[in-house]
Structure 1
Amino acid sequence: MPRNAQSNTLMVAAFDFGTTYSGYAFSFRDDPTKIQTNHNWYASGGSSQLVSLKTPTSVLLNPKGKFDSFGFEAENKYVSLAFDDKHEGWRLFRRFKMVLHSNEHLTKRITVEDFSGKQMAAFPLFVMSIKYLREHLLEEVTSQKRGIKETEILYVLTVPAIWDDNAKRFMRDAAVAAKIDPDRLKLALEPECASIWCETLGTDVKGAVAIAGSQYMVVDLGGGTADISVHERKSDGTLKEIHKASGGPWGGIFVDKNYMKMLDQLYGEEALIDLRKTEMSDYFDITRDFELKKRTFNTDKKENFVIRLSVSLLDIANKHSEKSLEERIAAMDIQKNAIAPRGKDKLKIDETLVQSWFKGPIDLLIQHIKSLLSDRKMKRVQTVILVGGFSESPYVQKRLRKEIPGARVIVPADAGLAVLKGAVKFGHNPSIVSSRIMKYTYGTEVLRTFDKNKHPAEKKLFMQGKWKVDNCFDVFVPVNEEVKVDQQVTRGCIPNSEISLTHIYRTTKQNPEYTTDSGCELLGTVQLENSTDIPFQQQVIETTFMFGDTELLIKMQNTTTGKDAFMTFKCFQ
């Protein structure tokens, strides 16, 4: 981001584009700590009690494939259309962000399914979503502060720290396609934002994160992923990352999936499909009601876990099967009385069965946190801060406190908004993060002079009167190395043709020898046009890796002509 863009900023606006829910927050430069969020997201209908400071990440397209609405509005309109049997051709997309997680073959042609199972390219949906959030934000801002120009707004878009470089670029490109000026756009890593926000909280939290030298872990538990970073507060107040970001697909949606599997067993997959088609309002009420129950499930309170379904689901199930609900419960591999019907529209669920829905993702999360804390570099880390919507679950909090006894687990107030509010603070002061740990070894592919003591004979080739070795990995920075924000590594060379083409590679290996080694991945290329009017021997090409920021930037420049070019990711070429 150009320095003048930061200096001209009168307002910072942050978007938290989540798997399950999305939202925005903002504050003005003259009062940066007064961070505002939207308070108008609400679900109508049977689940009107589900009020949130975020709205579902759902997009509705009209029969012409054009954007119609977003969030609760999109879901409610689709339900209304279905109720009147007018939804033919309309397409609802939900929870599509997970397509970017650990996708080895990510391109802008990657597809996602709509509510009815039909495929569509994901990229336009990301663009539409960000565009909607931006326009909704601008309406709110202009209603408060007349005369503010969009050129005076800095946009921050949060992304998981565990995301791949490709996924981060996908989000940036989507934001730019949504008409956000790339010079006024900054990506922010979600657990870092949470860490920044925790510094502003009460004495209990602040004391664990704000004292110089304090080290702590931030676990951002969202709908799709657990995103973990470990930080140290430096004496100048900035944050230093002391372990590379890690995590996995252990978010709240996996509890939802386990719950839906149980409904499949109880009522039949065909009945649930039929319910989605014929009684869509009831289907959404069921899922929203469970969202409320999931957030508040607590084994310390000996209350019955009662879920509200719909009479229509039982009626539809009875059409598809001659077995009664009681017979289907008896056929399940669960303890006796674990599920008890309460009338035609409710089920009482034993807490042990409910716990089993949480077990898979939370077991993996706890195992991973224990593994991290066992690293000798982490011996001073005694505080774990939980943020994100899923972290608000009392059951999740209890499990972590019980099974990681050596750590102090802190859950700040409004944990679900910590990332969003921290992203606004980060936008006002991006230099608050001073260094990060490299997740990969990065470098280029080069020719080297053949050395019989070092290189295998089968690698050598004869070029320009000399024996050379191709596919050598020239390391610019190794994995697990601490790099300062804005740190640059530059290498120079003499061009030998009109076009200089540099291949950029990465690997998790510390000291790779060749780009053909297993685990080495071609990340992208940089292509630069050289002058034909100046002898090549008089031109110099510099390749610069700019590390430490939330995004990797690689530039090639002909220092003789002044021309430059930036890396194009292989997956987006």
Structure 2
Amino acid sequence: MAASRQATTVHDTSTHPTSNKIIVVAIDVGTAYSGYAFSYRSRPQEVIVNNWKSHANDGFSHKAPSSILLNETYNFVAFGYEAEEEFSKIVQNRNKDKFFFVKDFKTQLANDQGLERHLLVQDILKRFVPAHGLFMESIRFLRKHFLETLNKKGFEYEEDDIHYILTIPAIWSDVAKQIMRDSACMAGIKPNNLELAFEPEVAALHCRSIPSENLSGSTKRLEEMFKPGIKFAVLDLGGGTADMTIEQNTLDGKLKHVHKATGGLWGGNKVNQAFLKFISEVISGDILESFVKENLTDFFFLNGQFETKKRSIGKYTTEEIVIQLPASLLEIFMEKTSKTLAQTVKGSIYNKDIDVQRGRLAISAEKFRSFFTRTIQGIVNHVKMILNKPECKDVRYILMVGGFSESPLVEDEMRSNFPDKKIINPVDAGLSVLKGAVLYGFNTETVTARASPLTYGISLYDSFNEKKHDFSKTVTVGDERIVLGCFEKFFTINELVEVGTKRSISVYESYEGKSDAMRMMSKEIEIFSSHEENPKYVTEESCSRHGRIIVSPPNGRWPDKVRGKIEFEFGGTELMVRYIDKATQYVVTGSVDFHQGDNQFDLLRSSVQKQ
């Protein structure tokens, strides 16, 4: 295909309409906890968050553990608290080898390198399970539970009356987004009824909706933070990731990004892992592993206690943190070592940090805080790095949301490390994402512009010019020497792009004299990305194959001359790429494949000719 660049940029906000659905439901499949919330168009501000019966404290919680139980053929058995209870019974009956129990699987999608279509994750017994099925079944369960809730309320509806919002971290790659979208569609949600939403963005929308009469003290600063022109950071601290965006209020009361979303694996689960690592050092890894395999209910009880204590300790706490040790753990330790845990601790290097009395583990406040150290340091260092960038130096507010932000220690450390910033941690910070996602579903135009996370483009080939081209990038085709892999850029990393912006390149190819087989073949157009602003060739180290759009011939057969354009649209939560045939207005869209690990790559066939 030959190609020529079009300089025009089109802004089309009609591609992001305000939802006209009767109901909006937000589904959050979190690393540690999951749930859903919804509201009706007649009263959108009255967001209903589902309550889950909790076995940990014999009460209710707004979210259920992201735990899923499958049978030996990978078919769904249970989710959340029910999955934990069922698997505990299975372990007691010694049938655990016939079931898979998986937790914390969402973290796998935070890895933007090497994500594959057939991604595998490990269950609690270190066996591999297909990730796609876990996401699909989790979404299917939450959707089914929501629909049953509507039925119980006597609400009559059609499937197309419902707008589904699926929340995702803003730092996720396009591959991760595609995995979630595909999973949601396989779970029964129609593609046209589904939209992905970035968690930090929607959390900010929820905080903006809090009535002023419900604000007091430091939270009163929310009113100041949402004034036109003010820049603020949103720090979404969940179970798996710390997600950060820099927002600015527009004059018309909307939001726009100032810097691309950033973050890392500094979620609350890292603190849990540090605690279990310490327990493993004290009692030995083998004993802990035996305890988990044989007494899963008690292991959940231990984890539940730690979760509760984790939310109580602050920077200036001096009292010991006391956790009740399960009797089964003490018994296994005695069987394996012929000593009591209390005796062992007294004669160990840990006796200054912990004490065991009457089955209770007392941990010094200093030692307990150490479980947070690496995670908090990672968060603080990252926030400092971003706020030091030129476009972020005038950020005055940091809005903390997400379940991990409810930790007093995390909040204390943020205030200590950023004394010149106004730290805001609103009530119900852990529900800000769910509630905000519902509001976003009724008006998706509340975010006017987003920063491009990468530089995007396609590969062109051109006649070799020794003054501007690298000879090593050339090949000989017939009598002509051409240079391959010239990076034709559409969007630049960290460029602020208005929602609905479209940029295109004209393409041309002749099929005269070509066989019928060639005329009926689909055309694959490769999409490339880079972490650099101005890559020259798609083969540079900073560049990678990002995806491809598969274009089938119009009416099953390419004509003698093909004239069309490749159109990129960015600004929403998902990158859209289209091919538009100029003669027939035939459009191929929505079929971008971001999985690149399972197809062959030919740079010559994947490039279009520069004119």
Give me the TM-score of the superposition, normalised by structure 2. 0.89
Q: Give 3-state SS (helix, strand or coil) of 2:456's partner.
A: strand
Shift of 1:468: 2.3
Return the offset for 1:306: 0.4
**Residue aligning to 1:128:** 137
Find the counterpart in structure 1 of residue 352 from structure 2: 337
CA displacement, residues 516-564 of structure 1 (integer Å, 9 cap, x when unaligned): 1112110122232346977543x31210111000011111122223333
Q: 5 Å matches for 1:132-281? A: 132-201=141-210, 202=212, 203=215, 204-281=220-297
Secondary structure in 1 matching 2:398: strand
Q: Cα RMSD between the aligned structures?
A: 2.1
Distance 1:196 1:387, change over 3 A: same
The structural deviation recorded for 1:379 is 2.3
2:411 aligned residue:
397
- SS of structure 1 residue aligned to 2:369: helix
- Using the TM superposition, give the Cα deviation of residue 6 of structure 1 relative to its aligned residue in structure 2, in angstroms: 5.5
Which of 109, 123, 139 does residue 114 from structure 1 map onto? 123
Displacement of 1:133: 0.2
Aligned in 2, Cα 1:3/1:436: closer, same or farther, shift over 3 Å? closer
- 2:576 corresponds to 1:553: yes
- Aligned counterpart, 2:53: 42
- Paired residue for 2:332? 316
8 Å contact 2:19–2:441 — kept in the other structure? no
Please state how far the C-alpha of 1:419 moved relative to its aligned partner.
0.5
1:500 alignment partner in structure 2: 523
Pick closer, same or farther for the CA change 1:3–1:553 going to 2, 3 Å. Answer: closer
2:371 aligned partner, one-letter code: W
* Aligned 8 A contact 1:198 1:205 in 2: no
How far residue 451 of structure 1 moved from its aligned partner, in angstroms, is 1.9
Moved more, 427-436 or 205-214: 205-214
1:469 Cα offset (Å): 1.3
Instruction: Select 1:485's aligned residue among 499, 502, 511.
Output: 499
Corresponding residue for 1:567? Answer: 592
SS at match of 1:219: strand
Structure 1 position 384 matched with structure 2 position 407: no
Equivalence for 2:74: 65
Using the TM superposition, name which of 444-453 and 13-22 deviates more.
444-453
Q: C-alpha displacement at 1:324, in angstroms?
A: 4.4
The 8 Å contact of residues 42 and 48 in structure 1, kept in 2 or not, is answered as no
Cα offset, 1:99, TM superposition: 1.1
2:38 alignment partner in structure 1: 26
Structure 2: how far apart are the matches of 1:552 and 1:305?
48
CA contact (8 A) 2:356 2:362 kept: yes
Shift of 1:7: 5.4
Equivalent-residue separation in structure 2 for 1:66 and 1:462 (angstroms): 54
Letter in 1 for 2:492: P
* Matched position secondary structure for 1:518: coil
Where does residue 10 of structure 1 map in the other structure?
Answer: 22
Does residue 1:540 correspond to 2:563, yes or no?
A: yes
Shift in Å at residue 429 of structure 1? 0.3
Contact (CA 8 Å) 1:221, 1:387: kept in 2 or not?
Answer: yes
> Which deviates more from structure 2 when the two are superposed, residues 279-288 or residues 495-504?
495-504
CA contact (8 A) 1:113 1:119 kept: yes
1:255 aligned counterpart, secondary structure = helix
The Cα shift of 1:465 comes to 5.2
Deviations 1:129-179 (A, max 9, x none): 000000001111222252122210000000000111100111000000001
Could you tell me which residue of structure 2 aligns to residue 520 of structure 1? 543
CA offset at residue 85 of structure 1? 3.6
Separation of aligned partners in 2, 1:125 and 1:194: 25
Q: Is the 8 A contact 2:185 2:191 kept in 1?
A: yes
Q: Residue by residue, what CA displacement relative to the aligned partner does 1:380-421 show, whole Å, maximum 9, x if unpaired?
A: 211101100000001110011011111111101000000110
Provide the C-alpha distance between the structure 2 equivalents of 1:4 and 1:213, rounded to a whole number of angstroms: 24
- Over 3 Å counting, the alpha-carbon distance change for 1:187 and 1:205 in structure 2 is farther
Moved more, 520-529 or 425-434: 520-529
- Offset, 1:330: 5.4
**Per-residue displacement from partner, 1:97-134 (whole Å, max 9, x unpaired)?**
11111141212311111222211111111100000000
- Note if contact 2:18-2:443 (Cα within 8 Å) is conserved in structure 1: no
Q: Structure 1 337/534 Cα, relative in aligned 2: closer, same or farther at 3 Å?
A: closer
Q: Distance between the aligned counterparts of 1:4 and 1:211, measured in 2? A: 25
Note if contact 1:366-1:403 (Cα within 8 Å) is conserved in structure 2. yes
State the 1:191 CA deviation: 0.3
- Tell me, yes or no, if the aligned pair for 2:333 and 2:339 is still in contact at 8 Å: no
Matches within 5 A, 1:279-290: 279-290=295-306
SS of the aligned residue for 2:172 comes to coil
C-alpha distance in 2, partners of 1:88/1:282? 19
Residue identity in the other structure for 2:50: N
Q: What amino acid does structure 2 have at the position aligned with 1:550? A: T
Instruction: Specify the code of the residue in structure 1 equivalent to 2:571.
Output: G
Q: Which amino acid aligns with 2:271?
A: V
Q: Identity of paired residues, percent?
A: 33
Q: Tell me the TM-score normalized by structure 1.
A: 0.94
CA contact (8 A) 2:72 2:98 kept: yes
Change beyond 3 A, Cα 1:171–1:495: same
Equivalent position amino acid for 2:354 in 1: I
**Offset of 1:333 from its aligned partner?**
5.0
Distance 1:80 1:457 in 2: 67
Cα distance between partner residues in 2 of 1:186 and 1:551:
9
Q: Secondary structure at the match of 1:386?
A: strand
Which amino acid in structure 2 is aligned with residue 71 of structure 1?
G
Q: Is the 8 A contact 2:330 2:340 kept in 1?
A: no
How far is 1:49 from its partner?
Answer: 4.7
2:32 aligned partner, one-letter code: T
Contact 2:16–2:444 (CA under 8 A) maintained in structure 1 = no
Distance 1:157 1:331, change over 3 A: farther
How big is each residue's C-alpha offset from its partner over 1:196-223, in whole Å with a ceiling of 9 and x where there is no partner?
Answer: 1110124514313321111100000000
Query: Could you tell me which amino acid in structure 2 is paired with residue 157 of structure 1?
Result: L
Where does 1:397-476 land on structure 2 (aligned, <5 Å)?
397-463=411-477, 466-476=480-490
The 1:2–1:11 alpha-carbon spacing in structure 2 relative to 1, beyond 3 Å, is: farther
Q: Distance in 2 between matches of 1:2 and 1:182?
A: 18
Q: 2: distance between equivalents of 1:323 and 1:453?
A: 79
Distance in 2, Cα, partners of 1:341 & 1:189: 44
Report if aligned partners of 1:226, 1:249 keep a CA contact under 8 Å in 2. Answer: yes
The answer to whether the 8 Å contact 2:312/2:408 transfers is yes
Q: Classify 1:277/1:210 alpha carbon distance in 2 versus 1 (closer, same or farther; 3 Å).
A: same
| Contact in 2 for aligned 1:198/1:209 (Cα 8 Å) | no
1:296 aligns with 2:321: no
Cα displacement (A) at 1:88: 4.4
Distance 1:351 1:60 in 2: 36
Give the SS at the match of 1:540: strand
Partner amino acid, structure 2, of 1:12: V
Segment drifting more, 414-423 vs 500-509: 500-509
**Mean Cα deviation higher: 346-355 or 82-91:** 82-91
Name 2:3's counterpart in structure 1: none
**Any stretches of 5+ residues in structure 1 without a counterpart?**
none
3-state SS of 1:521 partner: strand
Moved more, 106-115 or 148-157: 106-115
Give the count of matched residue pairs: 567
Deviates more, 1:255-264 or 1:1-10: 1-10
- Seen in structure 2, the aligned counterparts of structure 1 residues 205 and 158 have a Cα distance that, compared at 3 Å, is farther
Higher relative contact order (Cα pairs below 8 Å, separated by 6+ residues): 2
Equivalence for 1:54: 63
